[in-house]
Amino acid sequence: MRKICFIFVLLISSHAKLFAQQDSVRNIVQQRQLYFSDSLSMISYSFAKLSPLFLSQLMPAQLSTISAGHQFEKGKFVNAQGSTQTNTVFLSSEGITDLKGIKLFGAFNYQKTMEDSTRFSHQTRNNPTTPYYFGSPANNHYERSTYDFKVIGAKTLSGNKITLGIGLDYRIADHFANNDPRGSVKEYQLNMRGMLGYNVADNVKFGLTYLVGYGQEKVTIGYKNRTYYESISYPNYVNYLINGYGEPIPKTSERNYNDFQTRSGLATSFAAANTKLGSFYFIGTKVNEKQVYDYRTGSEITDLSYYNLAKLDLNLLWIKPIFAGNLGVNIAYENLAGEDFNLDFFAKNYVYTGQKINLQVNYTITKNSSTYNYLIGAKQTSEERIDGITGNLVYFKNVLLNAGLGVNRKVANHKSFGAYAGVHYGLPVTEKLQVSEANESYFTKEVIRYNYLFNTANRYGVSASATYSFPFFNTMQAAVKVNAVYSKNDKMKNLQRPTTAIPGNERFFNNISFNLYF
């Protein structure tokens, strides 16, 4: 009897120990999921990807995620070369760990996107300022498969005085239209960086980064219906060459080109953590990119156009505990300056200038089992495109204001619920449309005027999201997320000129995903 009692007690204690271990693991993985319910943590997590210098201070020690989902967009309140309906399925995974003293972050993302009603844009979605591309009036159904890989590593040496960092971003993508004119764009991008950092003190660091990159886009236009092949008798199916920001010309032969891209630059980063005024993180990046467009046959290479693009990014994050919560302020500035060299005229023709200033203020407070996130933000966007041959000049500046409130609450059995609601309102600040009536034709009416109306329209909208999290097996935490955004065209400019196309009134976006944290 004593032996039976002893065995029974042993079994109970072993089961209790096992349950305690499982409970401990569940606590850890739930905390990793709850990390993303804190808006300030999410901002810090995203900011850390900008430089190896920030990995150890702004990212958790250990975290892995896998996400799969679907997103849907629909509505005609979109720019002229955008898609009126888009379906995307995605699969992504990323994580941070420590490997023999090396802080290592890695990410993979796959997207399969199907666009309906894309016009005048046989392009990728990653080179929007380019002056040289093909386009067609017909509505194209585009399918895009994109693979993105990212690796960032940081290692401290010499008693934590020196930080060495590396980074690699690689993208390969295939974009094609499955109806005439059948555009096909193959895309390859590789960007690398190396960083040397010096730790002035335990909480103060400086870093200098050298960046270098290479990219290529291979564009081909084909037809299944031979009737459209080398004819302009069917206007909707004509392939046009847009070269600048004026009226394009029909391109019925030699409908392919390569865009070779090379880029290099420097970045300066700075981190001062846990000072009396809070924690400060800053990075400034300047990159110069050269694009060479050419046409190739088996016997020769003919240059078509040159385009230089300079990009300046400044990004500041400030975090400070205030009252019972944490305040975070993120200010981001981006400036793009591009100019081409038109080989038809042997002169500069197209000039592009774009600027974005984004201010986001987050306040997060945790009480008992609930986390509350408060958000206000403002974003100013400006853009100017000049075409020297036609004298076209289009400029706009607008502001988008937004605010939101979110809450996430833990409940029993390692489960949690989250919800968010937000509003946004956009309005134009200043604009200029200088297009000679003598130069106005189909592209001007369908694209240039259309985009001017879209970018200078007043708009408002709402957003909402919900999250439900629960244990998944014994070593992971799962979360189902749903979010939606609705935007409404409130008011457009009156051009007092005849128009053949104007932006629609609404745009809707929604996303649903299944996420694992471990």
Please report the DSSP string for 198-213 in residue order.
EEEETTEEEEEEEEEE
Q: Specify the pairing of strand 278-296 against strand 301-322.
A: antiparallel
The answer to whether residue 458 sits within a structural domain is yes
Q: Tell me which residue of 193, 194, 199 sits closest to 213, measured CA to CA.
A: 193
Among 512, 516, 514, which Cα is nearest to 473's? 516
Tokens of 230: 């080398």
For residue 22, the model assigns a pLDDT of 56
Residue 10 forms part of a structural domain: no
Under a CB-based contact definition with an 8 Å cutoff, are residues 25 and 475 in contact? yes
Residues 314, 191: Cα–Cα separation, whole Å:
19
Residue 481, H or E segment: strand 476-491
Looking at mean pLDDT, say which of 1-15, 342-356, 494-508 comes out highest: 342-356
Q: Would you say residue 4 lies in a domain?
A: no
Q: CATH number of the domain that 352 lies in?
A: 2.40.170
Whether the pLDDT of residue 40 is over 50: the answer is: yes
Identify the CA nearest to 256 among candidates 225, 293, 295: 295
H/E stretch holding 42 reads helix 39-48
Residue 386 domain-assigned? Answer: yes
2 located within any domain: no
Instruction: Read off the tokens for 427.
Output: 């309005």
Residues 437-474: pLDDT tens digits?
A: 887 888 999 999 999 999 999 999 999 999 999 999 88
Q: 192-231: per-residue pLDDT in tens? A: 999 999 999 888 999 999 999 999 999 999 999 888 877 7
Let me know if residue 238 belongs to a domain: yes
In the block, tokens 């009226």 appear at 247
HSE-up of residue 273 (Cα within 13 Å, Cβ side): 13
**With contact defined as beta carbons under 8 Å apart, do 325 and 357 qualify?**
no
Q: Where are the alpha helices (DSSP H) in 74-147?
A: none
Asked whether the beta carbons of 350 and 339 are under 8 A apart, the reply is yes
Q: How many structural domains are present in the chain?
A: 1
Q: Coil, helix or strand for 22?
A: helix
Question: Is residue 225 in some structural domain?
Answer: yes
Category of 254 on φ-ψ map: left (φ > 0), alpha (ψ -120 to 50) or beta = left
Q: List pLDDT tens digits, range 264-319.
A: 999 999 999 999 999 999 999 999 999 999 999 988 999 999 999 999 999 999 99
Indicate the average pLDDT of the chain.
92
Range of the domain at 129: 21-517
For residue 7, tell me if it sits in a domain. no
* pLDDT score for 83: 95
Predicted confidence at residue 201, as pLDDT, reads 86
